[in-house]
């Protein structure tokens, strides 16, 4: 089966690698155009482009998918497989392949449809997550489901750890899905209308810690946004990034430092949060106790 793969970030590159390693006939790759990155704003290829180039797979970076008819005819895929491409596919593209277009989505659909399912599920306190393959429809992440794989989400999970686990799970599930489609044994289950939640892109404002919220909610936010886009507060008028924490039980005025004995402990609306890993403005990521050795923080100092 001739497969055209579409994807852009690291999680998509891992899925593409799984297909290639499994011997799937990937005849081409669509990925987002190179983007400026770093201090020098140098044009940088996506992880998918880097991998595909290394493996000798033709790479295409169209800017207007509605005008890709001739290109699709040239590639002539029998199936389109998508993972975090970052763009909606028009009907003309979705309907081109003989076996349709499928997507690997990083959630247990219909929960967390959208661009940021990994951060959203952790921030919401979900204890069960997973990945889903589906037949694509014009509506975002609303197509009929094919296969699902589940995994527990623990308090030790971060956005980074869940991303990496989903990348491995998603690649395996995508391979199995393609094999089942080839064999004519792939199931097709419409998504239920109950339980739909949305996962829009994370905004900078959402990453700002609101110390009036319960400690557990803040703990989930910090680990959800680790390592990107990162939760933050303000210390001495400058942003301070928060990477790791644990829930405490002391009480105090929300946002005020109540202890520096075991990290930077800050009172919340209910309980407290002990910040254990941070990056002060202009500084590198480090353990909070190491930062505290070089900074005297008075009890009662207000953050945020």
Query: Per residue in 281-303, pLDDT tens?
Result: 989 999 999 999 999 999 999 99
- Reading the block at residue 34, the tokens are 């190179």
- Final residue before a domain boundary, out of 126, 148, 183: 183
The verdict on 98 and 159 lying in the same domain is: yes
Would you say residue 191 lies in a domain?
no
User: Residue 243's pLDDT is what?
Assistant: 98
221 in any annotated domain: yes
CATH of the domain at 128: 3.40.50.170
Same domain, 77 and 165: yes
What value does the mean pLDDT take over residues 223-229?
Answer: 97
How many domains, in total, are found in the chain?
Answer: 2
Amino acid 39: pLDDT: 77
- In this structure, are 282 and 133 located in the same domain? no
Q: Say yes or no to pLDDT of 271 above 80.
A: yes
Residues 134 and 225 in one domain: no
The verdict on residue 270 lying in a domain is: yes
> Residue 32 in contact with residue 87, Cβ under 8 Å?
yes
Same domain as 173, residue 251: no
Q: What is the pTM of this model?
A: 0.95
Q: Is residue 209 part of a domain?
A: yes
Per-residue pLDDT reduced to its tens digit, 150-208? 999 999 999 999 999 999 999 999 999 999 999 999 999 999 999 999 999 999 999 99
Owning domain of residue 101:
2-183
What's the pLDDT band for 135 if we cut at 50, 70, 90? Answer: very high
Average pLDDT (262-268) is: 96
Q: For residue 20, what pLDDT band results from cuts at 50, 70 and 90?
A: very high
User: Cα-flanking dihedrals φ and ψ of residue 203, to 5°?
Assistant: -95, 160
3-state secondary structure of 263: coil
Over the chain, what is the mean pLDDT?
97
The CATH number assigned to the domain holding 224 equals: 3.10.25.10
* Mean pLDDT of the 208-218 span: 98
Short-list 247, 274, 280, CA closest to 261: 274
């Amino acid at each position: 089966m001739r497969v055209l793969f579409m994807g852009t970030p690291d999680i998509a590159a891992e899925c593409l690698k799984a297909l290639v390693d499994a011997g799937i006939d990937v005849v081409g790759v669509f990925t987002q155009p190179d983007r400026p990155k770093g201090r020098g704003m140098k044009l940088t290829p996506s992880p998918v482009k880097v991998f595909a180039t290394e493996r000798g797979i033709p790479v295409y970076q169209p800017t207007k998918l509605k005008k890709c008819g001739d290109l699709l005819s040239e590639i002539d895929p029998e199936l389109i497989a998508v993972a975090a491409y970052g763009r909606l596919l028009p009907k003309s593209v979705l309907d081109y392949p003989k076996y349709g277009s499928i997507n690997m989505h990083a959630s247990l659909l219909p929960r967390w449809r959208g661009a940021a399912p990994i951060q959203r599920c952790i921030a919401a306190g979900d204890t069960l997550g997973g990945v889903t393959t589906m037949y694509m429809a014009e509506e975002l992440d609303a197509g009929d489901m094919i296969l699902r794989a589940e995994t527990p989400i623990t308090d030790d999970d971060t956005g980074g750890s869940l991303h990496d686990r989903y990348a491995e799970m998603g690649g395996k599930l995508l391979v199995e899905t393609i094999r089942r489609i080839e064999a004519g044994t792939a199931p097709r289950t419409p998504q239920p209308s109950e339980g739909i939640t949305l996962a829009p892109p994370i905004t900078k404002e959402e990453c700002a810690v609101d110390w009036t919220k319960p400690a557990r909610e803040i703990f989930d936010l910090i680990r959800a946004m680790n390592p990107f886009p990162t939760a933050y507060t303000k210390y001495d008028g400058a942003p301070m990034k928060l990477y790791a924490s644990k829930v405490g039980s002391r009480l105090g005025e929300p946002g005020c430092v109540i202890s520096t004995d075991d990290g930077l402990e800050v009172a919340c609306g209910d309980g407290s949060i002990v910040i254990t890993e941070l990056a002060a403005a202009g500084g590198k990521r480090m353990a909070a106790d190491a930062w505290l050795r070089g900074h005297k923080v008075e009890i009662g100092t207000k953050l945020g």
